[in-house]
Amino acid sequence: MAQPEQKSRDARTASLLLSFVAGYVDSSTFLALFGFFVAQLTGSFVTVGAQIAQREQGILLTIFAIPTFVIAGVATTLLVALVGDRRGSPLAWSLALESALLMAFLIVGTVGEPFVYPNAPLAVAAGLFGLSAMGVQSAAVQLIMRGMPSTNVMTTNTTQIAVLATQTLLAWHARRIARDDRAAARLTSTSERLNAVLRVAAGFLTGTIAGALVYSSVALWALVLPIAMILGLLVWSVQTRAFARND
C-alpha cells in the first residue's frame, strides 16, 4: 500500500510531466492547425461565436471541439469507474488511452500535412484526436490526482497563483506575529499549494516553448516526444501501481 507521502510525490511528478505534455501538444497544434488549441477550450467558446458570426473558415473543427472534449471526459470518467471497480490502476488505463489518441493524431497529422485549409478532412480529424487526448488527460488528472492543479487550464492556475501567493504572504505575516502552530500550519499549507500550481504552470510554459521549437524543425513528428513521455508514465504507473484503487 502506497504511503500518503509517496502518493503526494507521485502526484507532483506526474502532474509536472503531464503539464509539459499539454503545453507541448497545444503549441504544436496551434502551429499546425491554424491557431487551434487542443489542451484548453476557453478560446473555443469565443471562436465558435466569432466564426459563426463572421462566417470564417475553420468552423468545423471549432464547432466539434467542445462536444469532443466533453465526450473524452465522459469516456475517461466511465473508464476510471470501471477500472476502479475491478481494483485496477485507472491512471495506467487513462494514459494508455491518451497515448493511443496521440498516436492517431501523429499518424493522421503527418499524412495530411501541410494542411492547406482548416476544413480539410484530415486537418479536422487530426485536431479531434488531439482534443480527445487532452480531454482524457484533463479528466484523468481531476479524477485520479485529486488536489493537484489542472495540467491543462492555465487561466484558472494563473488566478490560483495570484490568490495563493497573497494568502502565503498573509500567512507568513501572521506567523511572525502569532508564532504558534496554527499559523505555521497555515503557512505550510498555502505555500505547498502555491508551489504545486507554480510547478504545473512552469511545466506547461516549458512545454509550449519546447513544442514550438521542435515543431519548427520536424513539423508534427514533434509529437513523438510527448507520446514517449506518456508511454514512459504508463510503464511507471503499471510497475508501481501508482494511484491504483486498492492503495
Model pLDDT, residue 245: 64
Q: Is residue 171 part of a domain?
A: no
Percent of the chain with pLDDT over 70: 89
Handedness of CA 135, 202, 92, 10 (dihedral sign): negative
Query: Is 173 or 244 the better-scoring residue by pLDDT?
Result: 173
Tell me: the pLDDT tens digits for 123-165? 999 999 999 999 999 999 999 998 899 999 898 899 999 999 9
| pLDDT for residue 1 | 47
Q: What is the pLDDT of residues 92-102, one digit of tens each?
A: 999 999 999 99
Cα separation, 73 vs 26, whole angstroms: 18
Show the cell assigned to 7.
502518493
Residue 65 has pLDDT above 80, yes or no: yes
Q: If pLDDT is split at 50, 70 and 90, which confidence band does 86 have?
A: confident
- What total number of domains does the chain contain? 1
Is residue 154 domain-resident?
Answer: no
pTM above 0.75, yes or no: yes
Percent of the chain that is helix, strand, coil (3-state, to 5): 80, 0, 20
Is residue 184 in a domain? no
Segments forming the whole domain that contains residue 91: 4-148+207-240
Looking at per-residue confidence, does 119 or 198 come out higher? 198
DSSP 213-235: HHHHHHGGGGGHHHHHHHHHHHH
Region 66-91: what's the mean pLDDT? 90
Looking at residue 160, its pLDDT comes to 95
Average pLDDT along the chain? 88
Q: Which residues contact 45 (CB under 8 A, 6 or more apart)?
A: 66
C-alpha 214/C-alpha 221 separation (Å) is 9
Spatial CB neighbours of 165, under 8 Å, sequence gap ≥ 6:
194
Instruction: Assess whether the previous peptide bond of 114 is cis (omega < 30° from 0).
Output: yes
